[in-house]
Amino acid sequence: MPDPSAPILIFDSGVGGLSVYDALRQIMPDAPVIYAADLAGLPYGTKTEPQVAARVAGLLGRMSERFAPRLVCIACNTASTIALGMVREVLEVPIVGTVPAIKPAAALTKTGVIGLVGTGATIRQAYVDELEAEFARGKTLYRIAAPGLVALAEDKLRGCRLDPGAVQEARTGLAAMQRGGQIDTLVLACTHFSLLREELASAFGPDVALVDGADGIARRIAHLLEGQELDALGPARFVVTGPVEAAAGLAPCLEARGFSPAEPF
């Protein structure tokens, strides 16, 4: 059994994984957690697959050596769809990935037309093709890249004034597709986007259900750690790559979530 203070390591390119952290806290409020934000590598969605795979595997290898986590959650759709298999080969602890919530969206849709917003890197992955083929057969799935929403979510958690243009652009792009007007379910295929639920709900309207994987990921983590002794020994930690000053604007939202001040990796 792991040391009771061994943490759950939640990894993301930025603050998007806080949507997973929030869901986890609902069912595991006292678990020891280290959240790692690769701010020096943000954004992932504009990088090539080899760049993302090498960066994620390298960072998680070093972080696992330093923090000795009991479980690693890659709370990033782009990183998971590209590097999940590689990371599982390298690390010897359970790895929980984040993949687009196509399965629950397909079960929820009434019109059979589903929208999916993600980063450019996520929406072109064969992994997403496989999820569509397995779980959305007979349905219509429209994908659109919305990279501007990543920056919008980062700005929101820093208390910046938001420009809704990126949200409107995603809505307009999906609506323009052949059956776009029939979309009744929208997959948020980036953990950053879950932090923009209010903005997306306002743009897409009350007839479009927003679906993400945060609750399912939290339940999966809890299941894998069932029966283990958990002792946080203090507040959750928030570590960042690159200059720690990059996280300065996040202080209020981190404090509200029970984190100690951001620290460099």
Q: Cα–Cα distance between 37 and 202 in angstroms, integer?
A: 28
- Say which DSSP state 137 is in: T
Query: How crowded is residue 148: how many other Cβ atoms within 10 Å of its Cβ?
Result: 14
1 lies in a domain? no
Position 195 scores a pLDDT of 96
237 lies in a domain? yes
**Statement to judge: residues 116 and 156 lie in one domain:** yes
Backbone angles phi, psi at 96, to 5 degrees: -110, 120
Position 164 scores a pLDDT of 86
Position 254 scores a pLDDT of 97
Tell me the pLDDT of the chain (265 aa) as tens digits: 789 899 999 999 999 999 999 999 999 999 999 999 999 999 999 999 999 999 999 999 999 999 999 999 999 999 999 999 999 999 999 999 999 999 999 999 999 999 999 999 999 999 999 999 999 999 999 999 998 999 999 999 999 999 889 999 999 999 999 999 999 999 999 999 999 999 999 999 999 999 999 999 999 999 999 999 998 889 999 999 999 999 989 999 999 999 999 999 9
Position 108 scores a pLDDT of 98
**Statement to judge: residues 157 and 251 lie in one domain:** no
Position 233 scores a pLDDT of 87
Q: For the whole model, what pTM was predicted? A: 0.95
Dihedral (Cα; 156, 38, 217, 167), 10-degree rounding: 30
**Statement to judge: residues 109 and 206 lie in one domain:** yes
Position 104 scores a pLDDT of 97
Structural contact between residues 77 and 99, judged by C-beta atoms closer than 8 angstroms: yes
User: What range defines the domain where residue 93 resides?
Assistant: 8-98+215-264
Final residue belonging to a domain, choices 212, 231, 252: 212
Q: What is the domain-level CATH number for residue 260?
A: 3.40.50.1860
Position 93 scores a pLDDT of 96
Burial label for 190, CB within 10 Å (0-12, 13-18, 19+), is buried
**Statement to judge: residues 137 and 47 lie in one domain:** no
Final residue belonging to a domain, choices 174, 194, 212: 212
**Statement to judge: residues 119 and 248 lie in one domain:** no
170 lies in a domain? yes
Structural contact between residues 253 and 242, judged by C-beta atoms closer than 8 angstroms: no
Number of domains making up the chain: 2
**Statement to judge: residues 74 and 115 lie in one domain:** no
**Statement to judge: residues 244 and 225 lie in one domain:** yes
**Statement to judge: residues 204 and 113 lie in one domain:** yes
Angle at 217 between CA 213 and CA 221, to 5 degrees: 175
Q: Cα–Cα distance between 122 and 261 in angstroms, integer?
A: 31
Strands 33-37 vs 237-240: parallel, antiparallel or unpaired? parallel
3-state SS assignment for residue 15 = coil
Give me the active site residues, please. Answer: 76, 190
Position 201 scores a pLDDT of 97
Position 249 scores a pLDDT of 93
Q: Cα–Cα distance between 135 and 106 in angstroms, integer?
A: 7
Position 1 scores a pLDDT of 78
**Statement to judge: residues 39 and 57 lie in one domain:** yes
Final residue belonging to a domain, choices 190, 212, 234: 212
Position 79 scores a pLDDT of 96
**Statement to judge: residues 32 and 130 lie in one domain:** no
Position 91 scores a pLDDT of 95
**Statement to judge: residues 203 and 230 lie in one domain:** no
168 lies in a domain? yes
Structural contact between residues 9 and 72, judged by C-beta atoms closer than 8 angstroms: yes
**Statement to judge: residues 106 and 208 lie in one domain:** yes
3 lies in a domain? no
Angle at 211 between CA 236 and CA 127, to 5 degrees: 90
3-state SS assignment for residue 55 = helix
Structural contact between residues 113 and 140, judged by C-beta atoms closer than 8 angstroms: yes
Position 165 scores a pLDDT of 92
2 lies in a domain? no
Cα dist from 128 to 24, 32, 82, 116, 211, whole Å: 24, 32, 10, 10, 15
